[in-house]
Amino acid sequence: MNLKNVIILLVASLSFWSCKTDTFADYVDAENEAIDKYFKDINAVIVHEKPETVSGEWLDSNNRKIFYRTSSGLYYHQVSLGDTTAAKPKVSATVYFRYLAKDLKDQKIYSAMEENSPNPVKLFLTGSSSELYGEGFQESLMYLNKGGKCEAVVSFKIGNKYNSSLEGGYTSKDLKYLPMLYDIRLVNVE
């Protein structure tokens, strides 16, 4: 085999392998499949209008969880309402909260619950991605009342920001494109 044929074969091989990388569209498709599968597996109901506020968990007549899909793409499920007489969080408020982050296969990624941290997490709400908390996470906090609890499915498109000290064996690239399930409890609003 002459040098020209070797170079052509090498270039063709490199071209083939470079085509194997995932595109943004591939990540979006995989995320949509994972989210659809998650909701099917837990037999949840997705609605596009926020349910009327009730004191307890959002459940339909068959006791299935109701997730409100917001215009941003956040899936929000109220577990408990909390104190409706207290100030509700909004952009420029400081909030204190506890949360558990999991992937959609129920693998724990991070926990800031009582047993793992002595103090609640403090965050100044900007409404956009912060160093660790993306837009979807912050939107979830703004739906909560003090003392309220929720579950939220946040797509990577509306913000997952993580550092490398998290659990679950994920790489930072994996986490960048991973839809997350959060259990959040709002402790206080300033």
What per-residue confidence (pLDDT) applies to 61?
94
Segments of the chain assigned E as strands: 45-47, 66-69, 75-80, 94-103, 108-111, 121-124, 149-154, 180-189
pLDDT above 70 covers a percentage of the chain that reads: 77
Residue 75 CA, distance from chain mean position: 9
Dist CA 44 CA 151 (whole Å): 12
**What's the residue count for the chain?**
190
Mean pLDDT of the chain: 83
Dist CA 43 CA 79 (whole Å): 16
> Across residues 4-10, what is the average pLDDT?
44
pLDDT above 70: residue 31? yes
Q: Which CATH code is given to the segment(s) 23-189? A: 3.10.50.40
pLDDT above 70: residue 179? yes
Extract the tokens encoding 184: 């959040």
Contact 89, 150 (CB under 8 A): no
Extract the tokens encoding 54: 């009730």
In this predicted model, what pLDDT tens digit does every residue of 110-134 receive, in sequence order? 888 876 677 899 999 987 766 567 8
> Across residues 86-106, what is the average pLDDT?
92
What per-residue confidence (pLDDT) applies to 165?
47
pLDDT above 60: residue 35? yes
Domain ranges of the chain: 23-189
Top mean-pLDDT range of 14-18, 21-25, 140-144: 140-144
Global pTM reads: 0.82
What per-residue confidence (pLDDT) applies to 98?
95
pLDDT above 70: residue 32? yes
> Across residues 17-41, what is the average pLDDT?
82
Q: Is 189 exposed, middle or buried (0-12, 13-18, 19+ CB in 10 A)?
A: buried
pLDDT above 60: residue 176? yes
Look at 178 and 123; give whichever has higher pLDDT: 123
Contact 112, 126 (CB under 8 A): no
What per-residue confidence (pLDDT) applies to 169?
61
Q: Tell me the sheet residues that pair with 189.
A: 95
Which helix (H) or strand (E) is 30 found in, with range? helix 24-41
pLDDT above 90: residue 159? no
Look at 119 and 70; give whichever has higher pLDDT: 70
Dist CA 189 CA 168 (whole Å): 30
What per-residue confidence (pLDDT) applies to 132?
66
